[in-house]
Amino acid sequence: MKNKLMSFMRGRYGMDQLGKFILVICCILLVVALLTSRTVVGPIFYFLALALLIYSYVRMFSRKIDKRYRENMAYMSFRYRFTSRWTRAKEQASQRKTHRFFKCPGCGTTVRVPKNKGKIRITCPKCKQSFIKTT
């Protein structure tokens, strides 16, 4: 049975980040449909979830790997625009006790320097401009 499944999936795209996201949205819509089943919008959420589930399976079993790869990369770049800010802020918050972060006046790049070193000259690694700050 496992060999049959492996031979069936050979040459197919499979699951990726966009597919996982679609399945999570599908599960959320199914829960909302369950909670609003006695109203008019309940069946609408149910059919939306069903359509997303079918779309997810079509993507998973597709043999057009390059097209699915481009769809996934478009989703990942869209997602990166929102998550990169939060990730960077979280990293800076975790290093707040040991480091200071300054913006370069020339190019705007964030430069990380050790804390409690007094007045130091900072050289931007990108544009090589020097500026003096107190840590």
- pLDDT tens string 71-84: 999 999 999 988 88
Residue 123 has pLDDT above 80, yes or no: yes
| Same-domain pairing of 63 and 111 | no
pTM of the entire predicted model: 0.67
Percent of the chain's residues with pLDDT above 90: 50
What is the Cα Rg of the chain in Å? 24
Assign 22 to helix, strand or coil. helix
Range(s) of the domain holding residue 77:
2-94
| Same-domain pairing of 103 and 39 | no
| Same-domain pairing of 126 and 89 | no
| Same-domain pairing of 109 and 59 | no
Reported as a single tens digit per residue, the pLDDT across 20-56 is: 999 999 999 999 999 998 888 999 999 999 999 999 9
| Same-domain pairing of 81 and 38 | yes
| Same-domain pairing of 110 and 53 | no
